Amino acid sequence: MGQPTDPVRDQLARALDWKEAHAGFDKAVDGIPPDKRGARAAGFDHSPWQLLEHLRIAQEDILDFCVNANYEHTMTWPDDYWPKDPAPSGVPAWADSIASYRRSRDELKRLAGQVEDLTAKVPTGKDGQTYLRAILLVIDHSAYHVGQLVALRRALGIWNP
């Protein structure tokens, strides 16, 4: 017999993928041509590459905060969270960023299911900085920027829903 399911933990894990109510990360990054990864459309501040890297960097930082007993917040906003270059250094950089994002997303999904108390304070956090808060922050942040990526792709004429 398997473990009983916890609907809250299951929903958190599903929401990290956001395939139910939003275009998910995987759909948003799929099929962006290499020559468009550094493109900016009128009215948009960032390129697909910058949005992808920002998502990856922020998510990995929050995951590290949750699982690293020696975590110290050393990154500076906004400089350390946004890449300066609008385009990746090549196809491998793009693929590596996507793979890294997926790995940290999978780790957060595992954390949502395995941490004993979602409402417990993260050991290196301040008051109110719980595991649940961290996971919800990633969900919200990712949904926002994935939405930006979809809107940017529409503006660039490269969105195929």
Q: Is the pLDDT of residue 83 over 60?
A: yes
Range of the domain at 29: 10-156
Q: Residue 19 — φ and ψ, nearest 5°?
A: -95, -10
Separation CA 37–CA 28 (nearest Å): 12
Q: Is the pLDDT of residue 161 over 90?
A: no
Classified as helix, coil or strand, 121 is strand
Separation CA 41–CA 73 (nearest Å): 33
Terminal Cα distance for the chain, rounded: 40
Helices (H) and strands (E) in the chain, counts: 5, 0
Confidence (pTM): 0.94
Q: Is the pLDDT of residue 7 over 90?
A: yes
Q: Is the pLDDT of residue 6 over 80?
A: yes
pLDDT class for 91, splitting at 50, 70, 90? Answer: very high
Q: Considering the domain boundaries, does residue 152 fall inside one? A: yes
Q: Per-residue pLDDT tens for 123-155?
A: 999 999 999 999 999 999 999 999 999 999 999
Q: Considering the domain boundaries, does residue 1 fall inside one? A: no
Classified as helix, coil or strand, 130 is strand
Separation CA 132–CA 99 (nearest Å): 24
Q: Could you tell me which of 60, 47, 58, 55 has the C-alpha nearest to residue 88?
A: 47
Q: Considering the domain boundaries, does residue 161 fall inside one? A: no
Q: Per-residue pLDDT tens for 22-72?
A: 789 999 999 999 999 999 999 999 999 999 999 999 999 999 999 999 999
pLDDT class for 4, splitting at 50, 70, 90? Answer: low
Q: Considering the domain boundaries, does residue 3 fall inside one? A: no
Domain total for the chain? 1
